[in-house]
Structure 1
């Protein structure tokens, strides 16, 4: 099951596909209506699904990105500048894979792990195995493991 993006939560610089399956960062703001769930400070969009069982897989387009997974992300939803920087995975219930330039890092509970990635993938696959308690990041191009 792939996640469905929640348009009411999308930051205005994130453009979603019509089927709510992909998101692209845009320099210009999108004309979204005001909504209490909308992220105003960070370029984030939530999905509708709350996973509590099973296996789930989705992909993130290449380029510079942050793929962030959180068990409870509602705590960073307000528009104030006192929000924690969510890309840092500042707690035990959030994980992220970051890419800037040629550098890749996996982050969990404020601990960063630098990753060695030989061929920069065009897409990164994220696989959650809920029952096993395992979150894995793959190069979707070759299905080689980036981090588990």
Structure 2
């Protein structure tokens, strides 16, 4: 997967190949774009899915704060974005030492250690989004069955 620079919050710095992202304290002076997140620290992939089963892995490198998952292409990009399924985002994240499913309310994920690599499984027709701690080969969280309504989902 490749990250889409047109969607990236101005303080997210993407690598040249679009495979890595990191927080940058300096706000980049880049033009606004209708696809760009202007308040929430988000970025989406260029490639999305409207059918099929997909799996990918994300290296989080024991970051103290991160979130990852999938979002409907129609997700709000302007102003604060509420990261939860009701708003079209299925995600997990870590803040400090606590991993959690980003639901409303959030659900703590009990892991012996913070994951370094998170696997994401999407079954579009089955309405399934699940996350795994790849190194320890254990499930982290699976969302209840969802309906995506034929809309493109973007990592």
TM-score, with structure 2 as normaliser: 0.76
**Is the contact between residue 60 and residue 67 of structure 1 (CA under 8 Å) also seen in structure 2?**
no
Q: Extract unaligned runs of 5+ from structure 1.
A: none
Match of residue 153 from structure 2:
none
Of the candidates 45, 48, 51, which is equivalent to residue 49 of structure 2?
51
Aligned residues of 1:59 and 1:140 also touching (Cα < 8 A)? no
For 2:76, the equivalent position in structure 1 comes to 76
Q: Does 1:96 align with 2:91?
A: yes
SS in 2 for 1:76: coil
Structure 2 counterparts to residues 1-148 of structure 1, below 5 A: 3-54=1-52, 55-61=54-60, 62-63=62-63, 64-72=65-73, 74-78=74-78, 83-87=79-83, 89=84, 91=86, 93-108=88-103, 110-148=104-142
RMSD: 2.1
1-structure distance, mates of 2:120, 2:4: 18
The TM-score with structure 1 as length reference comes to 0.79
Q: Distance in 2 between matches of 1:131 and 1:22?
A: 29
Greater RCO, CA 8 A, separation 6+? 2
Q: 2 CA distance for matches of 1:106 and 1:129?
A: 18
Secondary structure at 1:114 match in 2: strand
